[in-house]
Amino acid sequence: MGFLSGLLLFPVVGVVLLTLLPARFSRITALLVSLLTFIGTVVLLFSFNTTITTLQFEELYQWIPSLGIGFHVGVDHLSILLVVLSSFLSVLAIGASYGVEKNLKAYYVCFLFLLATLLGVFVAHDLFLFYVFWELSLFPLYVIIALWGGERRVYAAIKMFLYTLFGSIFLLIGIILLSVLVQPHTFDLPTIISLRDTIPLQFQLLIVVLFSIGFAVKLPLVPVHTWLPDAHVEAPTAGSMLLAGVLLKMGGYGFLRLVFGLFPQAAVVIAFPLFVIGLVNIVYGAFLALAQSDLKKLVAYSSISHMGFVVIGLASLQDIGVQGALFQMIAHGITSPALFFVVGVLYHRTHSRDIKFYGGIATVMPVFSVLFALTAFASLGLPGLIGFIGEFATLAGGFIAYGWWVVAGGAGVFLAGMYMLKMVQGVLWGKVADGCKGLKDLTRTEVLVLVPLVVLMFIGGIAPMLLFKYIQPGVALLVQLYL
C-alpha cells in the first residue's frame, strides 16, 4: 500500500477508533486524526515535484477486472492543492465544532468519513472510483445537516441530497457510456484519455453535456443552485465550512478534469454557453446576496457568485483564465469557510442571523471585528488579499477569449463590494445594538480556527506565486489541447 492510499485510509481508521472510544474522547480523537491527515497532505505537497506533469504518488490495483475498474489514485497539478485544502479545512471544521453537544460520536464520525471521501474525489483517476467517492461524500453531509442542523434541517438535507443525486446520476450515465464507447471497456481515466480520439464527436458532446449537468448542480450553476442556500442556512457551522470550502470545488474540479481536460473538441462547443452561465452566476448570485438580510444566506449567495468566476475562468480556455479558476477555487475555499465561521461565531453567541439584529460589534468584540473585516475584504476581492488574484485572472482570461462580455463579471466584483460592505457595516459599525451588549470576544479555539485562514488570505494575496507554482504546469498542459 502506497502513501496516498494510506492517506485515504487514515480517516477511516479514525472512524473505527471513534466508534470504539467513549464519546468524551471523540472531539480530541477526531481533531488528532484530521490533523495527522493534514500533516500527511502537507508532506505530500512538499514532496510533490512541480516540474513534472505526470501523475505522482500513483497507485493502481485491479478491483473489478471484468468491468475494467481499478483502484487508480494519484495526484497532479490540478488536484494537489485541493487535496491539501480538504484536509486543512477538515481540521478547522472539526475545531469549529465546539458548540455541538448531542451525539458527539456520530458527529465526528461523519466529519472524518467526509474527509476520506473528499480526498478520494480529488485523487481518484478511475472514473468509477471517482464516482464512488463523489456519491459517498453526500451521505455524511446529509446526516450532518439532517441531525445537527437548524430548524428546517430535514427539508434542507433531503433537498441537498436529491438535487446532487439527480445531478450525479447524469454523471454516472456519462461514465458508463464512456466506458462502453472505448475499446477495451475500461473506467481508467488515463487509458480513456489516450483513447479519446476513437470516440465520435457527437458522443463526446453527449458525454460532456451529461457530465456538465452533474458538475453544474454541485458547483452550483444557475438555475440548479437553489439547494445551496437552504443547505447552508440549515447546516451547522462546520458543515457549512466544508460544504462551501470543498464540496463546491468538486464541481469545479470535475469541469476542469472531466470536461475540459477530457474532451477538448467537445468542450470547445460548450465553452461559450458555460461562460455566459458563469456570468449569470456572478451577477445573479451577487444581486441575490445583496437582497438578503440573513447573514448565512448572504454568504451562501456570495458563494454562488464567486463560483461563477471559476466557471468563466475555465470556459475562457486561456492559460491565465484556467490558472485563475483553479486559484479562485482555492481562494474561495479559504474565504468562504472563514465567512461561515464568523457568522457561526455570532450565531453561537446571539442565536440570530439577521443583519438588523446586529450593530456596533466592533466595540464589543474588537479582535473578532478585525478578522471579520479582513475576511470580508478578502472575499470582495481587495487587492493584496487572496480573493483579488483569482477574480482578476479569470476576468483577464475571459477578456482575452470573449472580449467585452466580461464587463458583466466586473459588475459582479462591484456588487460583491456592495453586499460585503453592507454586511460589515451592518454588523460591525454603528451603535451597539441591544442584543449585542456584553458579547464576549473570540475564545482561544475560535482564534485558532480563524487566524490560519486569515494568514492564508494574506499569503495568497501577497505571494500568489507560492500557489501558482503548483498550478501552472498542469494548466499549461491542459491549455495546450486548445491551441
The answer to whether 143 contacts another protein (rule: CB under 8 A) is: yes
Neighbours of 382 (CB within 10 A): 17
Q: Work out whether 177 is an interface residue with another protein (CB under 8 A).
A: yes
- Closest distance between another protein and the C-beta of residue 297, in Å? 24
Please, which of residues 178-217 interact with another protein by CB under 8 A? Answer: 179-180, 185
Q: Does 139 bind another protein (CB under 8 A)?
A: yes
What is the contact mask toward another protein in residues 263 to 282, using x (rule: CB under 8 A)?
--------------------
Which three cell numbers, joined as nine digits, stand for 83?
487535496
The one segment of 162-170, 224-232, 259-267, 321-329 that binds another protein by CB under 8 A: 162-170
Residue 432 near residue 364 (C-beta atoms within 8 A):
yes
Q: Considering beta carbons, is residue 212 or 375 the nearer one to another protein?
A: 212
- By beta-carbon proximity to another protein, the closer residue of 170 and 377 is 170
All residues at 6 or more sequence positions from 65 whose CB lies less than 8 Å from its CB, including other chains: none
In the 8-state DSSP scheme, what is residue 433? P
8-state DSSP, 358: -
Q: What is the CA radius of gyration of the chain?
A: 21
Whichever of 52 and 67 has its CB closer to another protein, that residue is 67
Q: What is the signed CA dihedral for 481, 260, 83, 157, rounded to 10 degrees?
A: 180
Contact between 142 and another protein per CB under 8 A: yes
Q: Specify which residues 72 forms β-bridges with.
A: 60
**Site map for another protein, 104-133, x if CB under 8 A?**
--x---------------------x--xx-
Interaction between residue 382 and another protein (CB under 8 A): no
Which residue bears the cell 468563466?
Answer: 312
Report the site for another protein in 62-91 (rule: CB under 8 A).
Answer: 63-67, 69
- The three three-digit cell numbers of residue 95, written as one number: 475545531
Other CB atoms within 10 Å distance of the CB of residue 404: 9
Give the distance, in angstroms, between the CA of residue 139 and the centroid of all CA atoms in the same chain.
17
Q: From 248, 245, 302, select the one nearest 416 (Cα to Cα).
A: 302
Q: Which is nearer to another protein, 179 or 328 (CB)?
A: 179
Among 136, 209, 382, 476, binds another protein (CB under 8 A): 136
For another protein, the closer CB: 133 or 340: 133
Which of 15, 240, 261, 217 lies closest to 117, judged by CA? 15
Q: Which residues of this chain interact with another protein, rule CB under 8 A? A: 63-67, 69, 102-103, 106, 128, 131-132, 135-136, 139, 142-143, 146-147, 154, 158, 161-162, 165-166, 169, 172-173, 176-177, 179-180, 185
